[in-house]
Chain A
């Protein structure tokens, strides 16, 4: 099962390696990991996408909570939530493909951020599935480069994660 863990963590040197070290030391999976400071600069928020049985994810949550720098851990997948990932993709865009690529970007609500006479750089936001779908809908040979942020997530409705 895929789980999205949201973690509030002290914005201190070494906190990231403590968390990533925990995953590698105990053999847990990390599908993606994103981190940045919150509105309170002393605290960072991390989103980790992991896979594992319920027992494993329960252990991951407990082990994360045990780390001294971890303030709070929430499994977003336990409730309704929103998940977004940002991707920048540089594609070949010349000749007849150029118009087609523009159309495809529009369909996926992508934005073209940079243009040369041979390429487009497209920004896409969505769930991981949507970004995958975009990549699958274009020919692999056309893709010059991709970079993805990994998922960020937040609970729906009144559900908030804060101290």
Chain B
């Protein structure tokens, strides 16, 4: 049967089992929207800004195991989407972004709403395509879904000129696809795995460091099995929270710039380090030179060879899907008579316990001002640790990461790599749609929330009962913290003046708004908010302006050169 390009696009999405498309119409995608209108298998979510569309598709993907889909028009539709695409790219989130383009004959003519989409997005996608012939369309979309979700996942963009959506061709959707130039190594090298296991069994001071790759590969059960089998301490990166249960006694907390004292000390002083789906980035190990002042053997499992030995030289690289590699490791250990030296392990745990006694996440709980940490602790209690938490970027993000204990993967949804303010609310929309009935909270700040606040309107339209916890300290908190520490208290432009009345704003969008100003009111307000199962509630929590995130490894410093709260 002859179908138009627009029909083919929608048929492909149906074939891929796409439930929701997040998008915004415009001239170049009108044909596609017309076809969307004529069917009801693929549901469309109309956002209020294209950045929101991509973040929503991103949240949808992060909190499920599915590929997120966004649909935007040419020109400004694309440029608005770029922040969302780059966010997904940095965190390896599988997305397919379909963009309209001006007709093929107009490309290069500076046509209305034309931009070089493939050129603009090239550095922030896993791959992108410009479809110039309708006969290539179905195969290209198939390739896009395949590329997005396999190997190291990432966003893939398909740019479709308007005339291609009008042209017709015979439609068949390929069942499978293979590309001769794309064959990611997915199975870890058996010899390397054996070598790694031996190192682990011989370790005296081992440390497990797991990142977002574990979450993305759905390998949390395998990681948990390995860590428990060996009795080793385990830390997670910001992106890896939930990969190992946050309440497990073997969990030492997050590591890195705002990681726990014990995790960072253990990273520095271990003799064998196993990195699983993590990439030793600057926010995680600080200054690499300082990191190497201590001697240790490093095992690194990752799906992406280019992540291995990029910032840190490793001893045993293993390229492959982390879940399969961890499975192999567990198998080998289970069939081996050897176990790690119990005496050495006991001594190592004693060191860690000693570090834990610093109680690095302690804060002044008796303050008459609302402490942001306290709010997150209450949020954790009231949601019984079982909510999906999205966040924006800054201090509130770090506090949420530190004080909310994630026992399950895909519950903590934040922009780790790119650090995109404005991510939290639209991401929460995707989370709520793919997890209907689940408790979804967005921890945000008064600066971040205003970057995509227009999506409150989308939440109203689709009845998304997200709970926004706005830690309102009237500052771009993290910027203010750096200015306090490193710029002599010169708070250049970090004060958020002329803030809106968030309660009225929430109400104007048709939601419930509540202002919380006293520590004693925090718990009650949270309880009331979560009781309103079918309403979005915006909690504007007025917090202590001077609170800082501790511990902190200043930029460029070594991982153990932490500033602790007590030292100030």
Contact = CB atoms under 8 A, between A and B. Distances in A.
Interface string A11-31: 001100110010001000000
Nearest to B313: A55
B160 to A, nearest CB: 15
Given A14-B118, A69-B181, A70-B181, A63 B306 contact: yes
B181 A10 contact: yes
Given A68-B181, A69-B181, A70-B181, A21 B130 contact: no
A58 B311 CA distance: 12
A17 B309 CA distance: 26
Contacts of A18: 122
A10 B180 CA distance: 9
B404 to A, nearest CB: 34
A21 B123 contact: yes
Nearest to B124: A25
Nearest to B123: A25
Given A17-B119, A163-B180, A68 B126 contact: yes
Given A68-B127, A71-B181, A17 B306 contact: no
A65 interface: yes
Interface residues of B, number: 19
Nearest to A15: B181
B346 interface: no
B181 A62 contact: no
Contacts of A14: 118, 122, 130
A68 B179 contact: yes
A62 B305 CA distance: 6
Nearest to B307: A62
Contacts of A62: 305-306
Contacts of A17: 119, 122
A66 interface: yes
Interface in B301-320: 304-306, 309-310, 313
Contacts of A10: 181
Contact of A65 (B305, B310, B313): B305
Interface in B121-140: 122-123, 126-127, 130
A126 B19 CA distance: 60
Nearest to B132: A13
Given A55-B309, A62-B305, A63-B306, A68 B180 contact: no
A10 B181 CA distance: 8
Interface in A1-53: 9-10, 13-14, 17-18, 21, 25
Contacts of A13: 130
A14 B159 CA distance: 13
B147 interface: yes
A146 interface: no
Interface of B: 118-119, 122-123, 126-127, 130, 147, 152, 179-182, 304-306, 309-310, 313
17 contacts: A9-B181, A13-B130, A14-B118, A14-B130, A21-B122, A25-B123, A55-B309, A65-B305, A66-B152, A66-B304, A66-B306, A68-B127, A68-B147, A68-B179, A68-B181, A69-B127, A163-B180
